[in-house]
Each structure stands twice: as C-alpha cells, then as structure tokens.
Amino acid sequence: MLAQLRVLRAALSAKMILLLEGRKISVGRSESNTLQLEDERLSRRHCLFESEGLCWILTDLNSENGTLVNGQRITSVTLRDGDRIVLGASEFEFKLQRNLEEAYGVDAELFKASTMLLGEDKCARCGRPAYTPEELKKPGLRRRTRAPLCRRCADSLMGKTIGGYRIEDKLADDRHAPVYRVAKAGENGPPLALKVLRKSEVPNDEVVSRFLREAEWRGRFDHPNIAAIHDAGETEELHFLVMEFVDGETVQDEVARRGPMEPPRARATALHVAAALRYLHGLGVVHRDIKPSNVMLTRSGLAKLIDLGSAKLFRDAAETDITRVGVGLGTLQFMSPEQAFDARSVDHRADIYSLGATFYFMLTGSYPYKVSSVVDVVARSHGGDWKPPSALRPQIPGAYDAVVRRMMNSDPEERYPDADALLLALTALNAAGGV
C-alpha cells in the first residue's frame, strides 16, 4: 500500500515524503539511512518503516529517546491512517494513499522508480525546484535532506566573469560543456551564450579537439539559420566560446515536451535547416552532426543550427586528430552509413541524410532505426528498412514519406544531389497537403 509522511515539524525543506510499497525506509542521524535528519535527539539509526502486505509497520531500532505514535512510545506498531509520529524533535502525520495520482496529482510513471520523494523541495537560494524531472526519473535517486540548491545555484561559475563576460544564468547542463547566459561586463548589450569546457573534467582529447574546432569557425558564418560564434578563449581552468543567445529550446526538447510536430511545423523547421546547409555547403563546409539537439527553435518558430564542433571543409584531409578511416563521427541515430565508416571522406550528402533522420524524428517522435554501434549504422548500406512516417502517424501525407525516404537513401548517389534540390522538394510539400 502506498503511503506518505506529511511533514508537520522537521529539519526538511520537503512537505511530504513518499513511502513506496516493497521498500524499507530507515530514519536517523547517520548518512547511511534512507532518510537522514539533522536532529540531536535522534539516534544514528532511530526507526524503520516497512510495508507488509497492505499495511505499514513502524519499528523502533532501540533508539535512546524512543519512537512515539499518538503520544505513546512504541516498539513496533501497525500504522493507521492519520497517526501522529514523533521522532526526536520531528513530527509527521501518516497517510495511506491508493496511488501516486491521489498522493501528488502526478503521473505515476514519473516517480515509480524513486526511493523516496521529497516532492516540495525548493532551492534554498532562488526558490526554483531543486530537482529536474530528469533527476526524478533516475532509479534509486537519493534526495538531499538539508536545504538543497538547484543545479543553477550550486554551479561554482554562477555570478563569475570569464573573459570579460558575466555569467547570469545556466541554459544547458551538458556533461562536458555546459552553456550559460552571459552579458558583456560593463555593457548593456543583448544577452549572449557562453559554452565552457573545464580542463580538469575533459574525458579525452577528442572532446577538446571538437571544442577547439568549433572555436575556429568564429566569425566565419553569417546566416539567420545558424547561431553565430562571436568570441573564443581560455583561462587557466577552462576553454570558452561566446555565441549568439537563442531564446528558445531544441527540437529534441520540444518533441520530448509536446510530442511529434504537426507536418507543417516539421516541414518549416526542415526548410530552415536546409537553408543553413545550402549556405554552409556553398562555403565548402559539411556540418556532420545534424540532429534534433543541434537545432534550436526560437519563440517565433525560427530554426537555428548550432554546434559546429564536427564541421569540416569537404576536402580537409588533415583532421586525423579526431577521425580516421573506420571511425565515425556524429550521433548514431542520425548518422549516414558512409559517415559511420569514414567521417573524413563524407561530403554534403551526409548532412542531407542526417537532416532526413531529424525530419523523421520531428514527424514521428521516433528514430528511424534502432542502433547501438557504428556496425549497425554501416549495415544500413547493405539493406534494411524502416517504417515510413505515415505508418506511425496516419495524418502525415504520403508525399512526406517520399521526401524522407530519398533524403535517407543509404546510397549517397540516390539522395537529393544538393541542398537546393532538397529545398525545392520541401517547398513542394506545400502543395501536397502538408500546410
């Protein structure tokens, strides 16, 4: 039976604690407990909550000051709905619940893997939620019982100035290269985005090479569908890039939040990215990492291509620092077969393939293929098929299937020959019932 402890008095920022059936919840001052309370009147291991069938049993663990239920010191007792529990200086009310929706008014799937839910946790500094939905989904997540800080406020770089740019907020919490909103120190100009790479946390040389490669493109591109790179530099502790601030979210985030895009919006986004590719390809540059998380969407619906860390000139053979024959570069679900085999030799048609896979994702919310290794990607060149978008969402016009299929043809010669031809095909979808 699902239950909760409503916090009436305790050194906790949470207002309630969820008790999941089948779990044992130990309480005490020691960090080894499931729920640690900073209370001098508690023993190191004070008591234990455990479910037994449809009941919850509370057992005192020979604590010095005892465990009280409704004012009576107990050894072990079956709890009833509404019981008042006093543990040292802390007091709780025990409540039985039929399900998570009744307990919290939330989707049970979101919290089913959690050991314990401190559902009302707020950051002690800014008042925002202390835990993200992604954190709450992690199995066995142990919540902090002291006044918590959200990731933004806990970041040691918040409020600092790097290379003349003052950090004001955290935009993306990438494991290796987080992104911040910054302002030029001493100026009242528009906000900018700052990407940093801490030298002490670099997992391998490839990550550094990609970061520095992106820095090399600063000031080189001027296109409305490409996020501009304005500045780059390094300090003793980190490398940094200063980029155009895009007020919006990635395609990946939008689809995760709202589900697949309607065909007109997906088509418009693909058109914007195709326009960016026409510009890059015209300069002899191939992006090599087109994917949903590298396409930003502004609040007005404009798509902007980001992350040029994998970009290269078509005929740049001197890039053995991060690629070699037999090694791919990019993201598996969106990588062309030829790029998986040899990322050095690909041309603009690899980007067309990756945009096709991204278009597929926008339309369906799914990946065209399930792949786990470069070998799986290369195998596509020897056959393999995927369900057309309309098979997953019948409201998608058949003309969309044809465009996606040609973009994602395993043979580069059978794809659209260039971004101009792709733009014409995407524009023609307007007359195919797509808008």
| Positions marked active-site | 289
User: What are the tokens at 210?
Assistant: 């990609």
Residue 77, φ and ψ in degrees, nearest 5 = -150, 145
DSSP letters of 183-244?
A: EETT-----EEEEEEEGGG--SHHHHHHHHHHHHTTTT---TTB--EEEEEE-SSEEEEEEE
Residue with tokens 């786990």: 372
Q: Could you give the CA distance from residue 180 to residue 173 in angstroms, rounded to a whole number?
A: 9
Per-residue b or e along 304-336, where b marks 16 or more CB atoms closer than 10 Å to that residue's CB:
bbbbbbbbbeeeeeeeeebbeeeebbbbbbbbb
Position 10, amino acid = A
* Of the candidates 252, 402, 213, the residue with the CA atom closest to the CA atom of residue 331: 252
Residue-wise burial string across 111-149, b where 16 or more C-beta atoms lie within 10 A, e elsewhere: beebbbbbbebbbeeeeebbbeeeebeeeeeebebeebb
Distance of alpha carbon 203 from alpha carbon 198, whole angstroms: 10
**Beta-strand relationship, 76-78 and 72-74:** unpaired
Strand partners, 193: 181, 243
Tell me how far apart the alpha carbons of residues 85 and 91 are, in angstroms, rounded to a whole number. Answer: 6
d(CA 259, CA 356): 18
Alpha-carbon distance values, 181 to 250, 306, 324, 364 (Å): 16, 15, 35, 32
* C-alpha–C-alpha distance, residues 133 and 112, integer Å: 13
**E strand map for 307-385:** 312-313
Quick one: which H or E segment has residue 269?
helix 263-282
